[in-house]
Structure 1
Amino acid sequence: MFDISPTIALAVFVSAFVLDFLYARYTYYIISMKAEMAATVSFVWHMLSASVIVQYADNSAYILFMCLGGTLGTYLTVWQRRRAAQNAGTDTGTATAGLTHP
């Protein structure tokens, strides 16, 4: 009924596990306003996702641009939100979530 290769199934499982782990870690660092860590995880996450770029663009040089764009975008987003929260005198963790202290 199903013609499943155990090697491919394991590779898909491991890659989904790693990408989801990185996504959860990325979200945690964003919420914690840790720009450097979020940007680093973003770089790794994009590097691991790069097979899509190679598959569609047929040029692996685009991977660098994807990784750098994701890294810079993440860093600047968190840096700006952290700066805005500090200027407003708000706790950075709750400023991101839109919550206020009672």
Structure 2
Amino acid sequence: MSILWLVGLYFIHTMGELCLSPIGLSMVNKLSPIRFASLLMGVWYLSMATANKLAGALSSLYPEEGKVKQLFGIEIANLFDFFMVFVVMAAVASLILFVLSKRLQKLMHGVR
């Protein structure tokens, strides 16, 4: 396998982060009270650090040959189980956001 795959994937990941970060910081700036703006920008960066820590913890669940790992009592023995963790997490997160979407829109007070 060529090293260009790794370089290409890092490029795509970096471009995604460069597109997401300014939008997130802009929303934090628009939605936060003036006196808490800098504090909440710090919270934004803290949430990014927490997400990176969670990504590292989840990557440790990658199944090794002949070993079974567990997450909340669920055995992860193969790649199907490993990637199903992410499918379930995405489904749960989307359901939570769907349930909270009306309330979140009210809290935004019309800010777009």
TM-score (norm 1): 0.40
The structure in which a higher percent of residues are strand is 2
Using the size of structure 2 for normalisation, the TM-score is 0.37
